[in-house]
Amino acid sequence: MKVLVAVKRVVDYNVKIRVKADNTGIETANVKMAMNPFDEIAVEEGLRLKEAGIADELVVVSLGVQQCQETIRTALAMGADRGILVETEDELQPMAVAKLLGEVVGREAPDLVIVGKQAIDDDSNQTGQMLAALLGWPQGTFASKITPGDGTIEVVREIDGGLETVTLKMPAVITTDLRLNVPRYASLPNIMKAKKKTIDVVTPADLGVDTASRLVTLKVEEPPRRQAGVKVADAAELVDKLRNEAKVI
C-alpha cells in the first residue's frame, strides 16, 4: 500500500504572530517556520502504517515556495521515503491546494491520502474534504484512531456528540486530529540520511491547474486589546454595570 501525506510550511506555533504594517497579512520575514502540527501527526501515522508492514511507501508532498523543501526534509528525516514539491510563489487557497493534490494523487496513485485537518495559519479546515470530493473518494475527517482492514480502513472520528466510527473503502482520504498520535523527533542519523532522499519538483503549470485566488483579503488586523477589569462593591453594583454598561441583561 502506498500512502501520500501532504505537509504545509507555516509560522512555528511558538512564535508570536505579528500583523504587517500595511494590514495585508501576517509578518513572515525573518520568522521561524515549521511543519504544520496537524501535518506532523499525518506523517507520524503514515510512518506507523509503514512500520506495521501495512504500507510499503510513504510519499510526502508540499505546495508553495522553494523553502518548502525544508519542510519536506523534516518529514524525510522522520522516515518518509521521498518527497514532491509543487513549487509556486502564488498564494494558494484551499480549492487550489485540493486541485493540485488531486493531480499529484492521479500521478502517484496512492491507496491512502492523509492530511492534517487544518493549518494553523488560516484554519480553513477545507482541503481534505475538497480533495475527497474532487477524487470521488470516501473521507474520514478529524480522525483520532485508524485501523486498516482488508481493502478498508476504520476511522474513529471526533464529533460534537463524542466519537463516531466509520468504515471506508480504499482508496480514501483521512484528516488527522490531535489525539491520533504523538509525532516523533527526527534523530541526527536520519536527518543526515534525509539529505540524500529524492525530492521531485513540479509546478502548477506542469499539473495543469489554475491557482488564481478566488477570495480577496481586505484587511488583517490584530484583535482589540482587552480592557482591565474592575472590582465591584456588591451584587447590586454588578447587576447595574451588566445592565447599563455592558448591556447584556
Instruction: Convert the pLDDT of each residue in 58-82 to its tens digit.
Output: 999 999 999 999 999 999 999 999 9
Which amino acid, 66? Q
* 8 in Cβ contact with 35 (< 8 Å): yes
* Other Cβ atoms within 10 Å of 249 Cβ, number: 8
Helix-helix angle 127-135:94-108, to 10 degrees:
50
Give the residue-averaged pLDDT of 97-125.
95
d(CA 248, CA 240): 11
Locate 59 and state its grid cell.
510519499
Confidence band for 45, pLDDT divided at 50, 70 and 90: very high
d(CA 7, CA 148): 22
* Other Cβ atoms within 10 Å of 6 Cβ, number: 29
d(CA 95, CA 100): 9
Judged by average pLDDT, the poorest of 74-88, 89-103, 151-165, 216-230 is 216-230
pLDDT of residue 227: 83
Residue with more model confidence, 80 or 223 = 80
pLDDT of residue 224: 86
pLDDT of residue 29: 84
pLDDT of residue 223: 85
Instruction: Compute the residue count for the chain.
Output: 249
Strands 139-148 and 112-116: unpaired
Sheet with 139-148, edge to edge strand ranges: 162-169, 152-159, 139-148, 172-176, 112-116, 2-7, 57-64, 82-87, 199-202
Cis ω for the linkage preceding 94 (within 30 of 0): no
The pairs formed by 92-96 with CB atoms below 8 angstroms and a separation of 24 or more are: 92/63, 92/64, 92/211, 93/124, 93/213, 93/214, 93/215, 94/124, 94/126, 94/127, 94/130, 95/126, 95/130, 95/214, 96/204, 96/209, 96/210, 96/211, 96/212, 96/213
Give the residue-averaged pLDDT of 151-160.
93
Walk me through the domains of the chain, giving residue ranges and CATH numbers: 2-244 (3.40.50.620)
Confidence band for 182, pLDDT divided at 50, 70 and 90: very high
Confidence band for 28, pLDDT divided at 50, 70 and 90: confident
Instruction: Give the pLDDT confidence of 191-200 residue by residue, as tens digits.
Output: 999 999 999 9
Q: Which residues are paired to 62 by β-bridges?
A: 7, 85
Strands 112-116 and 2-7: parallel
Question: From residue 114, how far is each of 107, 127, 160, 218 by CA, in Å?
Answer: 16, 11, 22, 32
Question: Residue written as cell 491547474?
Answer: 209
Mean pLDDT of all residues belonging to the chain: 93
Give the residue-averaged pLDDT of 185-210.
92
d(CA 126, CA 56): 28
